[in-house]
């Protein structure tokens, strides 16, 4: 595990969690979408980041959002695989 990438470690952390999901929970995770207010905040921060205009607080917020989005994406993929493997 010494040479594992952060993404590999994240995957290893989330894999046991995803196996705890029953079919209904897996379906809800697979269909999860953020609300319009969150989408707008992400869009604004992404634009500001692209233009190099983020202050330190905004940069920290944006990094936290991106990291959280990565976690959610991996968990959603695992939930989808769980549903496919169980014929749901």
SS3 for 27-62 is HHHHCCCCCHHHHHHHHHHHHHHHCCCCCHHHHHHH
Residue 73 lies in a domain: yes
Question: What's the structural domain count of the chain?
Answer: 1
- Which pLDDT tens digit goes with each residue over 7-59? 888 888 888 888 899 999 999 999 999 999 999 999 999 999 999 999 999 99
Are 48 and 54 spatial neighbours (Cβ–Cβ below 8 Å)? Answer: yes
Residue 34 lies in a domain: yes
Indicate if the alpha-carbon torsion angle 7, 9, 10, 14 is positive or negative. positive
Count Cβ atoms below 10 Å from residue 49 Cβ, excluding itself: 15
Count Cβ atoms below 10 Å from residue 69 Cβ, excluding itself: 13
Residue 60 lies in a domain: yes
Residue numbers of the domain that contains 72 = 6-85
- Which pLDDT tens digit goes with each residue over 46-88? 999 999 999 999 999 999 999 999 899 999 999 999 899 887 6
pTM as predicted: 0.79
Residue 1 lies in a domain: no
């Amino acid at each position: 595990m010494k040479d594992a990438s952060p993404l590999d470690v994240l995957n290893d952390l989330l894999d046991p969690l995803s196996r705890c999901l029953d079919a209904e929970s897996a379906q809800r995770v697979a269909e999860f979408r953020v609300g319009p207010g969150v989408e707008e905040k992400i869009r604004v921060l992404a634009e500001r980041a692209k233009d190099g205009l983020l202050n330190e607080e905004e940069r920290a917020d944006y990094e936290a959002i991106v990291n959280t989005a990565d976690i959610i994406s991996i968990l959603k993929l695992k939930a989808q695989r769980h549903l496919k493997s169980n014929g749901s």
